[in-house]
Structure 1
């Protein structure tokens, strides 16, 4: 939580595969896609693009060609979504709190979120030294800012041992299987989310204490740990925020709102001023609403873990200065998000184009299922069409029929009248509004 508002949920509702390393067997090579499908021992085969296999990988394993049945060491890059299997990479990485190690890459880098140039240079020198002495790629993470070199070196030794163990197991095994699993939820949250800005950690589990303290060792000013009885989410009013996530509309403080719609290809966010009319002019009202919307949009991206292409339809602003001020605000919001976000600017139609890297399942995929009535379309056949079909069915009544029992969805209670049905066919009508499907009906004839 930030400023008493929920900004992120990390869930283990479904098993997270991202980061796991597998021994895989090639099932199919698809030259048209420049990709291969790999059996990793799960229900769905993984998808590996050939460009995600580094040159060093071929050299290390003496690979000349990849055919069906070839044994590969692969890592899940993105969790499976819908009918799509997990996306894989052969550029294996082992992530720690302060650094990420790459056995098949000579990359050297420092997190872009570290802005101090002197600190960046110091950490780059450390990364270069580690890489040259270990023959491994190294990227220093944001959490290493200001950290003594000994901590970074200590973690490097740990990660290098893990990488070596994975490679040794891979050489011995033959069957498709998991070789390395990402840490449990508690370790993952503390590794990824615990920064010097955290002031309070709340838990209702005494067993968590030892793990939490392990991660707090390097902090000079340590956050307070609060242990409570009962439900921590209830204690912090999380469930209220959680319920709001099932709505596509999110209210803004001054009366405006944003509307979030997810499609197969992208997420669209619409900004409306709605009840906010206090600005001195239409342009000022638009700018103030858009400013509030920026903060809420980037909060919702993290909260709902929305990834992929995102289009934002802000309220029209004629002033380029106003647009530039919005882009500056957006740059500040991006710094709060650990996921990589790219801003491509405003289109000719005034839509803001951006993308956010997705690795694990979003809120939608974890907590929302398609409606069994509309199949996820968000709409159903008009009641008029259903009633027209009912009339047609009554016209085809058996000659000997005297009465008819019709079962309709409660949705039709004020839409259908016996008098109108009698004009179609003179029968005794028994209408029950108990049918489960608003797109259809059930008819039983009584002779």
Structure 2
């Protein structure tokens, strides 16, 4: 599989995209400041027992929201605390960026991530990435995790990038992360003011650490300064990807820009003529699968299975590309066969492996809906690139033309007695709905109708005496 990492520097902003087999699957922009992963010395503003939560001032525009259950027992023990009080300082990490009216979500179970492992000072967790499937390799890495944990007194999770790696690189990174952790905890103890204590070294480091995997076959960048950093991360690769430096816009060069407008669409057409429709609500995302013009199969059940199977790949590509998080409900075309349902679930599990975000599948409901949840920490495509429509307010609907006509007729019937002419300004979409003869039935005036009004929900009438 051809997999390309595209880095695009525009002025002071860095964007990245991932292309798999000529299809865009991931897109990220740093135009809006990313808070996720940052660790702060915060101040407890309010403890709300009814919500089992704490609001914490971390120096950003909105207070962070910390669930009391996200403060591990080891945190209390480490700092010799019995409870968290208002006005006291607290060590917290952002686990989800602010969205809409909500502030950032916080946790006191802080962690520092490297390329090969993540360390947790207030947790005893020891684990290995579930995406590493070889049992022998898992056992080898578990042994390394336990040894690092026992020697340092913190929890350790081995990441996917450590699969097959010489243990010396993992132990070396553990030393580096311990040094960072010791500095962090020392600074927290010494300082009093609200401030950021830890953040990623740079965005390019974050992108390369998280996205420059063994599967990447090519890296394209328009910034020559990236080369040195890229080579640093490629040192341990047995097979290194091709690096290409270009002049101009990397996204234009790789045709990424052409996908932007398509990402706003509700409907995505499948190669064989079927389609998926994506609708987002505040609580969840609903995806509907339709066979539409897919007519190659011999019977309805065969058509249903083939459309559903084809839809799975596109649905999970869209989840990654749009960075859709939370609860997702997929309404596949009805299938009677349990065997076919299992084949769909197998395809789903295959696609999940391509996604860096954690996805949990809950299976088919009695109504045939597939339920799943996808964890995301940064803003979705819609939050970064899409604004709410000023006309419909984000609902996608406006009132029917007949209701607007009713208001116009009422206004005409109540026209001033001395009025002889009426100048009516309407939105162009009303052209096929308004008739001067109908207006004359209400009041015998001279009517001038102009379709120049910009708001389809309202109209404007001026009287001439």
| Fold shared, TM-score > 0.5 on shorter chain | yes
Unpaired runs of at least 5, structure 1: none
String of CA shifts for 1:115-169, please: whole Å, max 9, x gaps. 1111111111111111111111110000011111111111111111112222222
Paired position in structure 1 for 2:172: 154
Mapped to 1, the partners of 2:371 and 2:239 lie a distance apart of 40
User: What is the TM-score normalised by the length of structure 2?
Assistant: 0.94
Alpha-carbon offset, residue 33 of structure 1? 1.0
Equivalent residue for 1:106, pick from 121, 124, 131: 124
Alpha-carbon distance in structure 2 between the residues aligned to 1:425 and 1:25: 68
Deviations 1:232-262 (A, max 9, x none): 1111111222221111111111111111110
- Find the aligned partners of 2:315 and 2:90 in 1 and give their Cα distance: 40
2:428 corresponding residue in structure 1: 410
Tell me how far apart the structure 1 counterparts of residues 197 and 89 of structure 2 sit (CA, whole Å): 13
Q: Distance in 2 between matches of 1:184 and 1:440?
A: 50
Matches of residues 220-235 of structure 1 in structure 2 within 5 Å?
220-235=238-253
Out of 237, 259, 262, the residue aligned to residue 244 of structure 1 is 262
SS state of the match for residue 270, structure 1? strand
Q: Distance in 1 between matches of 2:422 and 2:196?
A: 61
The C-alpha deviation readout for 1:380-403, integer Å capped at 9, x for no partner, is 011110111111112111222222
- 1:205 and 2:223 correspond: yes
Q: Write the distance in 2 (CA, Å) between the matches of 1:434 and 1:188.
A: 50
Is 1:115 aligned to 2:136, yes or no?
no
> Are 1:31 and 2:49 matched, yes or no?
yes
Superposed CA deviations along residues 88-133 of structure 1, whole A, max 9, x for unmatched, are: 0000000111000111112111101011111111111111111111
Aligned to 1:191: 209
Aligned partner of 1:21 in structure 2 is: 39
Residues 181-240 of structure 1 show CA distances to partners (whole Å, capped at 9, x for unaligned) of 234332222111111111100011111101111110110111110111222111111122
* Structure 1 counterpart of 2:293: 275
Aligned alpha-carbon RMSD (Å):
1.1
Q: Could you tell me which residue of structure 1 aligns to residue 339 of structure 2?
A: 321
Corresponding residue of 1:88: 106
Superposed, which structure 2 residues align to 1:284-295 within 5 Å? 284-295=302-313
Q: Distance in 1 between matches of 2:201 and 2:360?
A: 28
CA deviations on 1:353-380 (whole Å, 9 max, x unpaired) are: 1111121111111111110000001100
- Asked whether 1:59 is paired with 2:87, we answer no
* Structure that is richer in strand per residue: 2
Q: CA deviation at 1:13?
A: 2.5
Match of 2:371 among 332, 338, 353: 353
Q: Which residue of 1 aligns with 2:30?
A: 12
Task: Write the distance in 1 (CA, Å) between the matches of 2:156 and 2:107.
Answer: 17
Shift of 1:173: 2.3
Structure-2 residue corresponding to 1:68: 86
User: How far, CA to CA, are the matches of 2:215 and 2:182 in structure 1?
Assistant: 34
Superposition misfits of 4+ residues, deviation over 3 angstroms: none
Q: Quick check: 1:444 aligned with 2:457?
A: no
Question: Structure 1: how far apart are the matches of 2:413 and 2:262?
Answer: 47
Please point out which of 156, 160, 185 is paired with 1:167: 185
**SS state of the match for residue 293, structure 2?**
coil
In structure 2, how many angstroms separate the alpha carbons of the residues matched to 1:99 and 1:105? Answer: 14
Where 1:8 maps in the other structure, the secondary structure is: strand
| Number of residue equivalences | 447
Cα distance in 2 for partners of 1:384, 1:177 equals 57
The correspondence for 2:452, drawn from 425, 429, 434, is 434
Does the Cα contact within 8 Å between 1:10 and 1:189 map onto a contact in 2? Answer: no
8 Å Cα contact 1:144/1:152 also seen in 2: yes
- State yes or no: 1:260 paired with 2:285: no
Most deviating of 249-258 and 409-418: 409-418
State the partner residue of 2:10: none
